[in-house]
Structure 1
């Protein structure tokens, strides 16, 4: 039996495919934040995630006529997004250097202060270090393991749906998740004081080094001051959840519910309304 939301999605897509531009805009609004959060976890930097989100949404809209309700609309859009992100030619700095988690951990030891940072905006910058670091460590995984981990332990997509999204068998998908969880779990337990109080690294002791290296901009924090979806988790709420759970998945999942930058979404809306984009061929 179809649920009300499934019926609503079918109606929305049918209207969009029929040329209703308001319905097209509603599809974009429905998908923009989930797609942006997926892209952000895969490409690390917000500016790159914005570009990827625009390209993915244009592909989604351009292929709406092919959606047959075989999956929820968001799940179907994730499949398009994952295919785009796995084949993206642009590489993150970690990918360019082929940086391993072991090498990343050794880098965290360098410049670790003896005491917590107590300078201006100490709480904000400590949050920024944590959020930036958890993004960076994900980039040390291969893309197939990264997206499997993100879908499983960050977005909590069930294995059947996630396997369909990545185009793998459920068994192969679960193996990817297991490999990623083992590697990240071992790294966090040996390195991260949030996952293991006995580990050496503390976000508050990495602030000065992160600023010095240009990984954190104290005037324009990329993650700690990022806009969130209305009603979504804030940075503080995500951190409280992480502290309660106190494990590897919590550390990597404890990001706020980021909202796609409105200026970029308005640019997409303008492109769709311009008549230059072949909407629903």
Structure 2
């Protein structure tokens, strides 16, 4: 029988280094996934994940078991990500109008993507649905990710954000309305009459270096295939289409090179 995470945490709090490594291994993928969805850029997400994991270890003695351990980890991660100004400042000036104009610039009228473009179409799909969240204020973005993407219970998400349940619900509602409105208006996967679609956008995205077949950042691991998502979305009503698109990403795994950097920082 596998030991409970709380038992491992207690061992780690007593100074057991193996247990400490187990704690990091237990949370690293979810921390990286949260950082990826919040910051989008893999380099930013990797840097943030390293700092968050170090914080989890250094603050571990303050965990008293009054909440679920993952809720406590989310709170540490949220506090860091909402104050990671170096990463957040890169997105200054981005809003839904600017993003729409960018997406609709240079669209092909009648594209005919090659069969081997399906992976790049998937890369573009995930990059776009992830990047549109950068148009939200950071606090609303985090509320949306925790609530609609990670599907946390409202009480857990509110605790992670350090706000009341009612304030969390308001923040989530505001974010959701904007994401649903934009996606339904602009995204060809959610709305077949929208101006932009991944096949129309792919050529321009390649030209701008937004997608690169030699370096896939998003269409990795267990990310649902483009055709699968396209088929599934067609069956859904509008609000569910947006949720499907936002959730249809990889369950990002923390890169091993990042794990080694964290271990080196913690243990020398």
- Using structure 1 for the length normalisation, give the TM-score: 0.87
Q: Paired residue for 1:253? A: 247
Other-structure match for 1:279:
none
Residue 126 of structure 2 corresponds to: 131
For 2:91 and 2:48, locate their aligned partners in 1 and report how far apart those are by CA, in whole Å: 17
Distance of 2:111 and 2:70 partners within structure 1: 42
Contact 1:94–1:139 (8 Å) recurs in 2: no
Asked if 1:73 corresponds to 2:72, the answer is no
Partner of 1:47: 43
Q: Which residues of structure 2 form unaligned runs of 5+?
A: none
The one-character-per-residue Cα deviations of 1:160-200 (angstroms, maximum 9, x if unpaired) are: 11011001111111111110111111101111111122222
CA shift in 2, pair 1:24/1:52, >3 Å: same
Residue 224 of structure 2, aligned match among 216, 235, 243: 235
Distance 1:247 1:169 in 2: 29
CA–CA separation in structure 1 for the residues paired with 2:162 and 2:8: 26
1:235 offset after TM fit, Å? 2.9
Aligned-residue offset at 1:251: 1.1
1:36 CA displacement? 0.3
Structure 1 pair 117–33 and aligned structure 2 pair: CA distance change class (3 A) = farther
Partner of 2:101: 106
TM-superposed deviation, 1:29: 0.6
1:89 aligns with 2:78: no
* Aligned residue in 2 for 1:265: 259
The residue aligned with 1:142 is 137
Cα deviation for residue 24 of structure 1 reads 0.6
Q: Do residues 16 (structure 1) and 26 (structure 2) align? A: no
Match in the other structure for 1:278: none
Q: Distance in 1 between matches of 2:89 and 2:40?
A: 9
TM-score normalised by structure 2 residue count? 0.92
1:155 equivalent in alignment to 2:150: yes
1:60 corresponds to 2:35: no
Please tell me the root mean square deviation across aligned C-alpha atoms, in Å. Answer: 2.1
Q: Which has the higher helix share?
A: 2
- Give the length in aligned residue pairs: 263
Tell me how far apart the structure 1 counterparts of residues 89 and 8 of structure 2 sit (CA, whole Å): 40
5+ residue gaps, structure 1: 275-281
CA contact (8 A) 1:241 1:254 kept: no
Report what 1:277 is aligned to. Answer: none
